[in-house]
Amino acid sequence: MSMQPDETTLLRAELEALRKANATLEQQVLAVTSMMDAMVDEVSAKSRQLELRNAEQARMSTFITNVMDTMDSLLLVVDRFGRISQANAATRRNLGLDPASLIGTSPDSLLTDDTLAPLHAASPSFAPGTVLFRTILKQGGLKMETCLRSHLQSANAGHFMLRATPLYEHNGKLAGAVIVGTDISELRAREQALKTSEQRFRDFSTVSSDWFWETDAEMRFTVYAGPDRSGQNLIEIVRGKRREEFASSDERQNTAKWTTYLNTIARRQAFRDFEYHAHSTDIRPTWYSTSGKPCFGSDGEFLGYRGTAKDITARKAIEAELLHHRDHLSELVAAQTTDLVCAKEAAERANLLQSEFLANMSHEFRTPLHGILSYARLGATRTGQAPNEKIINYFERIHQSGSRMADLVNDLLDLAKLEARRVDFALHRADMQVLVSRVQSDLAALLAQRHITLAVDTRTSSTVAMIDTQQFHHAIQNLLANAIKFSPNGGTITVGFSDAMIGRREALALTVRDQGIGIPPGEEERIFDKFVQSSATKTGAGGTGLGLAITLEIVRGHNGTLVARNHPEGGAVFEICVPRQAPDAA
């Protein structure tokens, strides 16, 4: 049976569609194949690039490791947990530690307690073992000088300069930190040696009597070190100036000397012991002796001079004095002869005064001693024969003579102690008028016996002064006793008080005036000498000459003054001035 035309057409159409579908599938297969080939090529290229990158990273890692191991400085890499993840070979050289032994440990273990304590004190919340790492993170970096523990034999903790910085990944995530430690132990040792050397130089410079100076190439002073004189810091005066600018006007006249000096400088030669006289508005007249040598740089360039200078003013004065003595030897001999004659006369006068004093003292001792011996002999020979009243009178006379001798010995001892400055004065503010009243009471019997009136003339608002009441009582008693001795019967002794000055210090003046014969002319000062008595004693007033000498020493012990003079209306006046306040009083 034959097929229908419609079926044949359909079969042909389906066959043609199949052909077209197959062609399309082949094209798609070819496209996918091309795409796969391209992807394979791309993957192969990226694989090759990755291999090259890994090789480069390995090379760089090896290079960095080699660089780290050849570094003189310690290098520690810390992970984000604060543990050491890498350490270079310098840890073995500088600290005696195997780098591998540090992996996984805290960098705090390398710090000394003295270094770790202040870091922990600054951030007490940091846990132990994280102090250094967290301090780096907190401060955003770290730079400090510290000591690291050393495990090397015969080595103490070394000085290191630590520098640290945090490490972050490209996305900002914390990666850890890197710490670099540079050993500066030798540097610190050299600095200490330099400081010691500088201090030694300063010590020598301080105790030296010389100055050390330097100038620039134009001979202007740049350094002038040494002891200051009269509060003058010489470098502040001479800086930027030349030596010849300070020469005195007379010194500048010696052109030959300065020409020789300047020629030596121009030839760049050393000079020694160049002496010149300096005088300016800033420098007092001074003689200097200076020495110096030129200084040159490594390239031979002239830099200036360096040297020393010393003050020879005293030596020049001695030389001038010797020259003067040499030129005026005859005058010197005459002057020395005059001095010797004066010394001889003074010695003879002192010897004569001492002889007179000893003669007078012998008389003063002989009189009571003769009285003691005489009345003792009378008492011994008349015991049992004479009435008891007579014997008692003999003993009273013996007692009076002994008392007089005791007073005389006491005066001598007091004077010796005062002159030897072995008396401690207990100075305090006291009323001197009260002392006068006490002395008046002590001498009341003597005043009444001579019918002498004691008058007080006060011309000040206060009679208070700084005195030792016991010693000053003795001084006032001596002056009043002396006034009574020279006053006529029925006379008046006037005690005066007034304001005075001793230098710039306020003082109280006490005067004692009698109506006696006064002080012989020329004896106003000599009567206070311990070996001298007034010639008025020859009138019968008597005395050993000790009272006024003792009084003078007491007043001197009070930082006061004692003078004697004659009153225009007759009689002698003794004036004591003593300070009202202690020397340090305001």
Which residue bears the tokens 């300063």?
Answer: 202
Coil, strand or helix at 91? helix
Position 431 scores a pLDDT of 94
Between CA 531 and CA 72 the distance in angstroms is: 92
Who's near 408: CB < 8 A, 6+ residues apart? 361, 364, 365, 368, 544, 546
Nearest Cα neighbor of 78 from 155, 19, 136 is 136
Q: In what order do the strands lie in the sheet containing 174-183?
A: 84-87, 74-79, 174-183, 158-168, 142-148
* Residues in a beta bridge with 242: none
CA angle 243, 247, 248 (to 5 degrees): 165
Spell out the residues 6+ positions from residue 394 whose beta carbon is closer than 8 angstroms to its own: 375, 376, 378, 379
Q: How far is Cα 33 from Cα 27, in angstroms, rounded to an integer?
A: 10
Structure tokens at 19: 């052909």
Query: Pick from 94, 185, 96: which is nearest to 146 by CA?
Result: 185
Q: Tell me how far CA of residue 282 lies from CA of 222, 232, 245, 247, in angstroms.
A: 17, 9, 12, 12
Q: What is the pLDDT of residues 443-457, one digit of tens each?
A: 888 899 999 999 999
Residue-wise pLDDT tens digits, 370-390: 667 766 776 777 776 777 777
Sequence-distant (6+) residues with CB within 8 A of 307 are 212, 213, 290, 291, 292, 293
CB distance 131 to 116 below 8 Å: yes
The Cα-based distances of 294 to 216, 224, 305, 335 in angstroms read 10, 16, 4, 51
Contact 169, 175 (CB under 8 A): yes
Residue segments in the chain with a per-residue pLDDT below the cut of 50 = 1, 539-542, 585-586
pLDDT at 186: 85
The residues facing 362 across adjacent strands are none
- pLDDT tens digits, one per residue of 291-340: 999 999 989 999 999 998 888 888 888 888 888 777 777 676 777 788 88
d(CA 490, CA 310): 76
**Contact at 8 Å (CB) between 541 and 496?**
no
Question: Which tokens is 276 given?
Answer: 């010149």
Dihedral Cα 214, 218, 220, 224, nearest 10 deg: 0
Query: Cα(579)–Cα(429) distance, rounded to whole angstroms?
Result: 10
